[in-house]
Amino acid sequence: MRSISMSTRLLNAVLKPIVADQHEPDRVFDLLVAKAEQASGGTAEGDESFLDGYRMLLQQYARHGDLTAVGWQAVLGQLQLRVQNRLRVRRVLEEKPEITREAITAPVFVVGLPRTATMLSRDVFSRSAGHRSPLLWEMTYTDTDLSERDRRQYVKSAVQLYKSMSRMSPQYRDTHDFDAERPDDTAHLLPHGVHHLSRAHLPAYRDWLREHDFRPDYLYLKRALQVLQHGRPGSRWFLHSPEHLDHLVAIREVFPDATIVWIHRDPVSVVGSLCSQVEATLALHTKDPDPHRIGATWLELTAASIDSARSARVKLPRQAIVDVPYPQLVAEPHVGVRLLYERLGAEWTEADRANLDAVLAGPGIGRSHEYELSRYGLSTDDVEAAFGDYPRSVHRLWLH
């Protein structure tokens, strides 16, 4: 069993009475929305489809049965922040409809299996002249025309939020490198996705995701980027998330001139590390997460992502996707990143070289944590069977 801190155990005991709220998820959700309206200055009226999706999600969490008190409180807090941010974005757009005319020009979506150096390329590009990635605090509190005081308050709130999560579990801290003032996974701006499955085993929600139309989710992402871009010098957005693999067609429909950078890595090297990351998150939210169920669930999810992306790419223009072998990025980063710049039509400068050196020397790059496939009931043969010929295609790409 992955450990949680003693303070978290004590907090679970103190908060235990609030778990009774799980028996009334609809009442709790209505209260959550009311708080979000008050905090954002916006209104939920007219956004029923979005709210229905989150209501259903909270109902699934409530039915889980093994959520800890801390887990239930964390779920409520996260959903309230997401609803609050949605209403804030809607309010800003209603007050300034001209923001919807902001051009999000030729954005880059970096995709690939989790633990596949997508952060390396994102962190370099986000420091490059003319490029930008949304910061974690901006995706939590998306707003425009902020005073310096309001900006500092948003940053402070985000820092406190993610620090508190890290303190609760040593394993969580080891596998999640949250920094409120740095770029992060753009799933923070996607209402739905498998990120919610990392908190609890939610088979009904997983089934719902298979039928969900993600185009409105990506339209919301676009609106949030327009809010963040308004009144600032234009930059090319550089957006990363493993979850984008599942939605390449939706991305190109909402962002017709987007380029998709697909970083390929042998999944045998990925799955165990991913399962360790998921287990650390589950340990914060649920009682005694089952490692074998984690292995079976996330092997299936990641293999399905690769299948979805491989099927989708044949529907897209060939030039829409740039394939990058992971070994090239980690073995020869100065060569691999420079070549990526060239393929994206960006200029590689001495300043970019210095940025890359700074990223490579920074925290989180090259960091490892314990993971073993066998802990999750998996073997190398299981992973290779699930991904079919994909590992061989990754190897051929690197040789090419």
Locus of tokens 């979850």:
243
Total domains in the fold of the chain: 1
CATH of the domain at 383: 3.40.50.300
123 is a domain residue: yes
pLDDT, tens digit, 9 for 90 and up, residues 152-210: 999 999 888 877 766 655 555 555 567 888 889 999 999 999 999 999 999 999 999 99
214 is a domain residue: yes
365 is a domain residue: yes
Averaged pLDDT score across all residues of the chain: 87
pLDDT, tens digit, 9 for 90 and up, residues 248-290: 999 999 999 999 999 999 899 899 999 998 998 898 889 889 9
pLDDT, tens digit, 9 for 90 and up, residues 148-162: 999 999 999 988 887
Query: How far, in Å, CA of 35 to CA of 255, rounded?
Result: 33
1 is a domain residue: no
320 is a domain residue: yes
Query: How far, in Å, CA of 127 to CA of 139, rounded?
Result: 18
- Residue-range definition of the domain harbouring residue 386: 6-399
274 is a domain residue: yes
51 is a domain residue: yes
Q: Is the pTM of this model over 0.75?
A: yes
